[in-house]
Amino acid sequence: MGLSLVRCPFCDRRYNVTGLPSGTKVLCTSCRAILTVPGERFVKRESFWRRLVPRSSVAQAATAIVGGLALAAGGLFAIRSNQNDPGKAIGERSNNPPAERESHGRGGQYQWSLLTVDQQKEFHPDRFAIHTSTRMYPFVLVGEKHTEVQLSFLFKHYEDLLPKLINTFKAEFGDPLGLGPIRDRLLIVLYTRRDTYDAWWRRGNGKPAPLDVSGVYSQLDKRVTIFFDTDRVLPPASPKEVLFHEAVHQIIHYYHLQRAKESRPAAWWFQEGMGNYFEGYYESGGETILRTSAATSRLPMAKEMVSGERTKFINLVQLLTWTVDDIWAFLNQGPQGAKDAMNNSHQQEVIKYAYAQSWALVHFLIHAGDGIYRPFFLEYFRSELEGRGGRDEFDRLFKLHHEGLELSELENRFIKYVQNLK
């Protein structure tokens, strides 16, 4: 009889899946990826032992006895799942622990174990469904059940979109900045009822969600929350844009938690500009193609800001001073919690155009002049991840990379760049 092994492609850990039929789903207890037991996968016992033990008959006999006991005991292990030590197997004895077999009961016990204890209480299987796969790792989807919503369709749709986001972010910023793989599970929650969506907002903000906000990333809960309005009360919005925008916030915050050395409030233009930067996509042959180009819904507003009298344009000196805390104070308390330009009767309009300008600024710093400002932007990106972002850090790094270039001249170049975007 051969020994059946399967290797996790994410963390390179091997598992004994002897006796499990081909196609069975198993859980990697190291990185929590979902694996599939393949077909022709057996290794002759003789060659396996030959690699691990001396070739003397006594040593082989002793090792065979110990190995047999270990394999027999392997099927009895349990998974201890908690927030601080996810994926730790009780009773692991070797580098090839037995894998956890997929359970299909109420969404799959192995899937629900990916959530924290508090999350499991909040998202009861009677009211919520869960979905995860190796294809969209490290994301986990939880959806609120609704008679008018096909969660399985939404899950599969997101499973197609999220790998595009992960791969694009990795190519654009992850690899240049030397960011390693994401080890945690990133949660995305889909609400289909206004009352439950509002209840979640009240928990963190003391009030229901603004009517025009259909998605948000919460740093407190470390999760993306999206509302599917089955009653169509919300104005039309692209679910793809909401997903890409908020999930980028989630990815950036993950790396910030790994690297933060200081705790200055994050720059608003950077955070929202990055979210907006990943909103661009187009459809081709029924497939969604993610591209970080000027083909985005933000472009018309950005061009409007730099045309005519530019009454809606925000000076870079001012835009660079706004922090995430300023904007949340504005959204939660009114204009008294925000900076100068927002203390007027057009606060909502200011914010709307500021989103477009933040997108344009990020696009400019990455692509203008064949990438002349890109090295500076990557260094500033690193500072944001380390908790050292803000206007002063922007000025310091910009002078290092572009000595003699004043911010006023950079603003002029920025305006001309946006005017010529197509």
Question: pLDDT digit string (tens) for 353-397?
Answer: 999 999 999 999 999 999 999 999 999 999 999 999 999 999 999
Contact 72, 57 (CB under 8 A): no
Does residue 159 surpass a pLDDT of 50?
Answer: yes
The model's pTM: 0.72
Does residue 46 surpass a pLDDT of 80?
Answer: no
In this prediction, residues 81-108 reach a mean pLDDT of: 36
Q: Label residue 406 by pLDDT band (50, 70, 90).
A: very high
Nearest CA to 16 out of 41, 40, 49, 52 is that of 41
Nearest CA to 181 out of 62, 31, 67, 293 is that of 31
Q: Label residue 207 by pLDDT band (50, 70, 90).
A: confident
Nearest CA to 263 out of 216, 325, 183 is that of 325
Instruction: Write down the pLDDT at residue 180.
Output: 94
Beta bridge partners of 190: 143, 226
Architecture of domain 103-259: 3-Layer(aba) Sandwich (3.40)
Instruction: Write down the pLDDT at residue 32.
Output: 54
Distance CA 188, CA 353 (A): 27
Tell me which of 235 and 363 has the higher pLDDT.
363
Distance CA 385, CA 203 (A): 27
Share of the chain above pLDDT 70, in %: 70
Tell me which of 334 and 404 has the higher pLDDT.
404
Domain range annotation of the chain: 3-80, 103-259, 263-422
Question: pLDDT digit string (tens) for 9-20?
Answer: 555 667 777 767
Contact 146, 230 (CB under 8 A): yes
Contact 362, 274 (CB under 8 A): yes
Instruction: Write down the pLDDT at residue 355.
Output: 92
DSSP 209: P
